[in-house]
Structure formats: C-alpha cells, structure tokens
Amino acid sequence: MRLKRGMGIADARAMHPSLDVVEADPEADRRLLESLADWCDRYTPLVALEGGDGLFLDITGCAHLFGGERAMLDDLLLRLFHQGFSARAGLASTPGAAWAGARFSLSPIAPGDEAAALAPLPLAALRIAPETRSGLESVGLRTAGVIMAAPRAPLARRFGKGLLIRLDQALGRIDEAISPRLPVADLSAERHLAEPIMLTDHIEELAFILATTLKKGLERRGEGARALELALFRVDGAVSRIAVGTSRPLREPRLVRRLFHERLTAAEGVIDAGFGFDLVRLSVLQAARLEIGQADLGGVETDEGEELAVFADRVRARLGQTAVLRPLMVESRIPERAAIAVPFAEAAGGPAAREQVRGHGPADRPIRLFRPPEPVEVMMAEIPEGPPARFRWRRALHDVARAEGPERIAPEWWREKEDAATRDYFRIEDAKGRRYWLFRQGFYGATEATPRWYMHGIFA
C-alpha cells in the first residue's frame, strides 16, 4: 500500500515498519527552496516561489542560450540530480499547465495542447481549493476534462468564479503573471566557464571583462551604473551575490573592477568558493543618465568632484555604505539640527551639495559641535545679556579675553516644549588664544530659575 499525505504515523508504520520519521522543519524547507531559487537564476532572472515545494521559471527568451527548451530542462534536472535532489519539472506555455505537468509527470506541452494534456488529469491539476475540489467530486465531476466540457454558468454559480479563473489560466485564456523574487536587472552580462574558478584575482578579471561588455549597452542608452551586482554560481548550487553602489553613474570597466576589488577584499573569508564557480554574472541593478563632461586638451575631465566620488565609493565598498557620510542642510536654525549626515551616495550630487553646505547660514560656526552641549560653570558674567568673564569647563578655568555676541536663537515653538528657553550664543576667546562657542539658555531675572551656560563647540 502507498503512503498518503495526512496519514497517521501509526498507520504508516503498520504498513512499513522500518519507516524513519523526522520532525518537520518548515523554516528550513523554506530556506532550502529559496537557495534553489537563487541557483535557478542561472537559467532565467524570472524565478518565483510556488507554495512550499515548487518554483516557477519564466524562460521566455532564455531557452536558446541552452540549446532549446528541452535541452534546458534536461540540464536543470541533471544538475539537481547531481546535487542530491529528486525533482520533477513541467514545460508549457502557461504556468498552470506547467504546474500540472510537473506534478503529474507530463511530457512538455506544446502551445495549444493544454486542454488535451490536462483533460485526463484529476481536479488537483487545476490548483483549485480543497473544499471546491471536494464539492465537485461529490457531484461526480472528477477530472479536468469534465470541468472543461461542463456549462460555465452553473459551475460559477455553485462553486464560484475561482474555479473558472484557474481553468482559464491553465488553458491560456487569462494571463497569469509570475512575480520574481529578485528585481530584474536593467542590463546583465555573464560568462559560463568550462573550468571553475576559485581565486579572487580571476573573479576580478572576469568582473572587468563583463564590465567592458556592459559598457557598450550603457553607452547606447546614454546611462551609467549606480548599483552593480556580481553573482557567483558555485558548481554545487550555492550562489554568492556581491553588490556595490556608486555615488555617480559610471561605466568605466577599470573603476568597476576597483570597486569589486575592495568588496571582495572585505568579503574575504565570508565567500566560500567550494569547488569553484562555473558561472559569473554582472548585472546593472540601477542606472541613471550619464552626462559627458567637458575635457581639457589632456583628455582629463574638469569635474573636481569625480576623484572624491571614486574615493568614497572605494571606501564604502570596503567598509560599508555608512563609512563615508556627507552633511546636508535642513530647515532648522537650531545648530544641532541644522545638518544631517547621510550616506555619500544618497546626498545631492557633486559640488552643488558642498556649496549648499558651505553657503547656508552664518559662516562663523565652529568646526566641531558637541552633542549634546556640555555644561559650563560661569563665575562672572555681564548681566543681563552680556558674555561671561570667566568660566570653568572640564575642570579647567578660562579667563575671557575677547567676546562677540550675542547671537540669539529662539526655540522652534512648533516642535519644542512650552518651557523651552531662548539661547544667546557668544564667540569667546580666552587668555591663551583658544576660541569657543558658548550659549546661555534663558535670561537673568525673567524666571525664578537661573540661566544655564553650555559649551557647544570649538573653533580652529
């Protein structure tokens, strides 16, 4: 007797005493299926999960790269067999027919032959809900062919429109879209290798070759890459993906190689080459318009920000996206809120952003701000609105030689608490020539509380 899904363990062991029972681990099964989906990316970028035990591959426009649809199917099943999987595959022009072909071991179904191929199959081949299938079987409708021949209106009234939708999807009357797990790259280039590679130098060389191929496509589109991904397909099925981002659109293969050199160096010891990689693919995940800059007579572009962008990209590739930050001004006059630090690639492009930072607000701001401001003990001060004459900061006493101010900054009433106090800032120089930025929070005599002084920054 055969085992069936849902059968109790006692009944199964009564039929097969030597049966080995292993606790189910749905999460591990899901991870395995996702890793197989990554591996199937070698055949097509349109790979989607189907339930807990299947995959959909849209091979439109990809089969000729493997010698045809049947050759691709044979290659896929053979590789899975060598990896230790017992897999079945279906080939058809509709996802519904391919699903039925895989689960009921049908030969490849030619376009237009879906109805003939599905007719003798049970209702499960139509992917309908179990309760709908039970209802159909209870009235003697047990095969897909019977459903196809039955009047549609009574079926819809009694069993719902979902039954007819599944039938039409399988027969190609209604389009059924496949939602791929990963975004489809704008451009990609790949190299199948007769001999697997393992060394980092070889991977970098292949990245350079593939970037040279992609450069032609980017030039035709007038674009440059903003995000690139290098996919390394291992012979045993594992896939490693390495992504780099750029601050500016680029398509120069030499620069692409340098970015992946930094990324591979940072990932050394993390990426396991195993028995080697037999397929390497370079993809442009994000592209942007690339404006060609004016060059001087020596052939060097005059954009002074390019070297900074290249340096920042290499550092970010080695140390992470937040390793290089750029300040951007925001609408706030409170000093600690006037600028935010964002990753270099996310900031507004090039020199314009730097000019915006330099040109915003008073020029006489300290080169370093303390967050939060540090308390200061003032021994003598001109009351009510004058600067301090002597103060103690970090247990050191400072005599004020010169002072400028005050610069008054009121609280942002729309976001502050009602009791937030106004700040009076002073630029202070002590007797030793050191310059500080202090502020008094509150006014003398305005409230019962004594105003407090803080050190907010230091000048060069």
CA distances from 225 to 188, 241, 250, 264, 372 (A): 11, 17, 5, 19, 40
In this predicted structure, what is the pLDDT of residue 75? 93
- Token pair, residue 360, equals 């915003």
- Looking at residue 49, what is its pLDDT? 93
- The mean predicted confidence, pLDDT, of the chain is 87
- Structural tokens at position 56: 């959909």
Lowest mean pLDDT among 82-91, 270-279, 383-392, 445-454: 445-454
Instruction: Note the pLDDT of residue 54.
Output: 93
Mean pLDDT of 201-205: 94
CATH superfamily of 187-289+305-316: DNA polymerase, Y-family, little finger domain (3.30.1490.100)
Question: Three-class SS of residue 102?
Answer: helix
Closest listed residue to residue 169, CA positions, set 264, 80, 97: 97
pLDDT digits (tens, 9 = 90+) for 235-262: 988 999 999 988 889 999 999 999 999 9
Rounded CA separation 196/221 (Å): 33
Summarize pLDDT for 421-437 with one digit per residue, the tens.
889 999 999 999 999 99
Report whether 49 contacts 33 (CB < 8 A): yes
pLDDT digits (tens, 9 = 90+) for 409-418: 888 877 766 6
Q: Is the pLDDT of residue 445 over 90?
A: no
Task: For residue 162, give both structure tokens.
Answer: 């979902």
Which of the residue ranges 155-159, 215-219, 270-274, 330-334 would you say has the lowest mean pLDDT? 330-334
- What tokens were used for 363? 């020029």
Window from 47-51, 290-294, 398-402 with minimum mean pLDDT = 290-294
Q: At 350, is the pLDDT very low, low, confident or very high (cuts 50, 70, 90)?
A: very low
Residue 292 has pLDDT above 80, yes or no: no
**Percent of the chain whose predicted confidence (pLDDT) is above 70:** 92
**Domain residue limits, the chain:** 43-171, 187-289+305-316, 325-359, 368-458
263 close to 242: Cβ distance less than 8 angstroms: yes
Between residues 16 and 333, the one the model is more confident about:
16
Contact in structure between 168 and 174 (CB atoms under 8 Å): yes
Q: What residue type is 401 in one-letter code?
A: A
Calpha distance 111→345 (Å, rounded) = 48
pLDDT (0 to 100) of residue 357: 42
Given the structure tokens 């600067």, which residue do they identify? 387
Residue 359's pLDDT band (cuts 50, 70, 90): very low
pLDDT of residue 326: 82
The C-alpha atoms of residue 203 and residue 209 are separated, in whole angstroms, by 10
Omega into 384 within 30° of 0, i.e. cis?
A: yes
Q: Is the pLDDT of residue 319 over 70?
A: yes
Distance, CA of 412 to CA of 416 (rounded, Å):
6
- Among 20-29, 296-305, 320-329, 372-381, whose mean pLDDT is lowest? 296-305
Residue 37: C-alpha distances to residues 43, 64, 103, 238, 258 (Å) = 10, 21, 18, 10, 30
Structure confidence at residue 363 (pLDDT):
52
Q: For position 312, what pLDDT does the model report?
A: 86
- Output the DSSP codes for 17-72: TT-------HHHHHHHHHHHHHHHTTT-S-EEEETTTEEEE--TTTGGGGTSHHHH
Burial of 256 (0-12, 13-18, 19+ CB in 10 A): buried
- Record the tokens describing residue 424, joined without a space: 């009076």
